[in-house]
Chain A
Amino acid sequence: MFGLGKPKPVTEREAEGEIERVYHEIKQVMRVTGINLNFRTWAGYENFFPAMWDAMRPNAETRRFEDAADRIRAEAVRATEHLGKLDAATSLRLGESQSYQIRRALDLYHYINPKLLVFTAAVSLALDGERTGSETESVELIERGAPAQMYPMEMVAEEPEDTRTQELFDDIKKTLSLSSINSDYRTLALWSDYLAAGWKRLKPITESEEYKQASEHLRLKARDLARTLPYSVPLSRERVEELGEDADEIIETTWKFERILSSLIHNIALFELDWRTPDTLEESPFPVAARRDMGIGQGGAR
């Protein structure tokens, strides 16, 4: 995906100027403790990234966006139920704290990935020239800020010193045709035995036809839901070219993230199913309240 000449993803530590501004807003608006790989990758296109975010932010703050992600999550859980169990922790000697933290980490991605998919689908639609959003009536906004109990997006290095983890990442990348390893796997690699055991069971599942169909179905579902977002997304191929960016490359990257995310949502749901019931998993791990009307000047008008 990120071949010769393509920009390098921008880490949170490296972010400056507009990218730093956008990263802060993403964490507040998307209600998440860190910046996922798709945003880090888009940030490599320094003119496109702020323009894309400013175009999408009004939708990302709405109840309808949150509801769309909730529907994606629920659908993925129901599809995943039939794909098999990972039993990743069964053979391991995980401590009470380790198990607790794994569950918290899974909840983080179980929450954010469906939002990322709807977001990415909406960007894809806009870049494809499809007009979305035509809301004129009032739209409910949701509260900003990562939930206090959300696990931090802690990750091992993308190129870990530990040979075993590096080999595991290489296998995941090869199997799933990834050029960079997603945040999810880098977080789960904090408990490398757990990730290794889970991946061993997950790998054959990802190669099944049922899994591929479920992922494709979810991708299309996300596009349908993105079409129902309230606001139009002022973004297009022409706009990207005006910004001096390589539109083909950005469209291809965005499209690939749609595919990656639709699979990743199932993968995390499979890990989650070892710990929780489908009924529990269908619900958002971090339900959000409506934003209180604070009047003018509370930072919502950018």
Chain B
Amino acid sequence: MNWRDYQSTQRVAEVGERFVSYADEGAGDPVVLIHGIPTWGYLWHRLIPALAKQGRVFAPDLVGFGYSDKSDCFDRSIARQAEMIDAWMEKVGIERADIVGHDIGGGVALRLATLFPHRVTKLCVMNTVCYDSWPFEVMLQLGHPETRRKVSAPAATTMLKQALKQGFATSPDDEILEGLLVPYSTEVGKLSLVRNAAALNTNLTMEITQLLPRLVAPTLILWGEDDVFQPIKYGGRLAWDTPQARLVRIEGARHFVMLDRPEEIAEHVSAFLERE
């Protein structure tokens, strides 16, 4: 599915003063997929069809990302994003769900599981930010306020395309890269991404460290072993600190495991989420 077709399937919900665009596929027990930075719900387009065979799959664009609200002047931290997901779940009638998160979406998922445990049935994180594993250098540069002025939207897109390629074990095709970055190709989109990058804050994963041993949801940690953005040592630490967690190493994969190995990842996630 190309990004245009994906976008045309997105639904929308108003959550307070913001709006959230989201994919909604399948029927049954809800699964919520949360993307990272600098992507959007399209990240999951290869995983959604497989998961939609066994449940109702939601993939919201975090606020400030993708085709959700990209207004300026609001908090985009993962703390606020977790609150927004909680409010969005309330709005669309999801009482609790299996939560799957990648990158900072994993950070949002970890905060949901520790701080809003009533929302989370099972938790799956992939190459997630955690502890002080983040933000990596490119994101720090992107989040500098002067980037807004010094870097044009086309230049930012070119820079990010180069950076994203390092997140793939296989050479991604242009359509995928274009699709992941297209919401940020305008000046407003770029500014929104700059604001999102400026909101990346290690403290928001450090502060939940003490809560991890008490995380009650069964947890699957998937990790592309060769990730250069989020080294696997953090996956090991996360699994060790979280008694309910199991770490699965994805050999030969990097950061974007769901795009590098869609079938393998779908199998792992499907098996984990399968109801007893």
Query: Do A and B associate with each other?
Result: yes
The segment from B42-50, B65-73, B230-238, B252-260 that touches chain A is: B65-73
The answer on a CB contact under 8 Å between A13 and B71 is no
Interface: A206 (CB within 8 A): no
Interface: B187 (CB within 8 A): yes
Query: Using a Cβ–Cβ cut-off of 8 Å, how many residues does chain A contribute to the interface with B?
Result: 25
Interface: A153 (CB within 8 A): yes
Q: How far is the CA of A150 from the CA of B186 in the complex (A)?
A: 18
B7, B152, B187: the one contacting A97 at CB < 8 Å is B7
Chain B residues within an 8 Å CB radius of A93? 8
The answer on a CB contact under 8 Å between A97 and B21 is yes
Instruction: Tell me the chain B residues, 1-59 only, with Cβ under 8 Å from chain A.
Output: 7-12, 17, 19, 21-22
The prevalent SS among residues of B at the interface is: mixed
The answer on a CB contact under 8 Å between B12 and A96 is yes
The prevalent SS among residues of A at the interface is: loop
The answer on a CB contact under 8 Å between B148 and A13 is yes
Given A33-B71, A150-B71, A97 and B186 contact (CB-CB distance below 8 Å): no
Interface: A156 (CB within 8 A): yes
Chain A's nearest CB lies how many Å from the CB of B52? 17
Residue of B nearest to A150 (CB): B71
The answer on a CB contact under 8 Å between A153 and B71 is no
Interface: A98 (CB within 8 A): yes
Chain A's nearest CB lies how many Å from the CB of B22? 8
Chain A residues within an 8 Å CB radius of B17? 148-149
Interface: A274 (CB within 8 A): no
Interface: B106 (CB within 8 A): no
Interface: B188 (CB within 8 A): yes
Chain A's nearest CB lies how many Å from the CB of B185? 8
Chain B's nearest CB lies how many Å from the CB of A32? 12
The answer on a CB contact under 8 Å between A101 and B11 is no
Question: Which residue, A94, A104, A148, has most C-beta atoms of chain B within 10 A?
Answer: A148
The answer on a CB contact under 8 Å between B187 and A95 is no
Q: How far is the CA of A84 from the CA of B13 in the complex (A)?
A: 32
Q: How far is the CA of A149 from the CA of B19 in the complex (A)?
A: 9
Given A11-B187, A13-B187, A152 and B10 contact (CB-CB distance below 8 Å): no
Q: How far is the CA of A18 from the CA of B12 in the complex (A)?
A: 39
Chain B residues within an 8 Å CB radius of A104? 19
- Residues of B at under 8 Å CB distance from A? 7-12, 17, 19, 21-22, 67, 70-72, 148-149, 152-154, 186-189, 192
A-B CB contact pairs (8 Å), 9 listed: A13-B148, A95-B9, A96-B10, A96-B11, A97-B7, A97-B22, A97-B67, A101-B21, A157-B186
Top 5 closest A-B pairs, CB basis? A154-B188, A97-B10, A97-B21, A97-B12, A148-B17
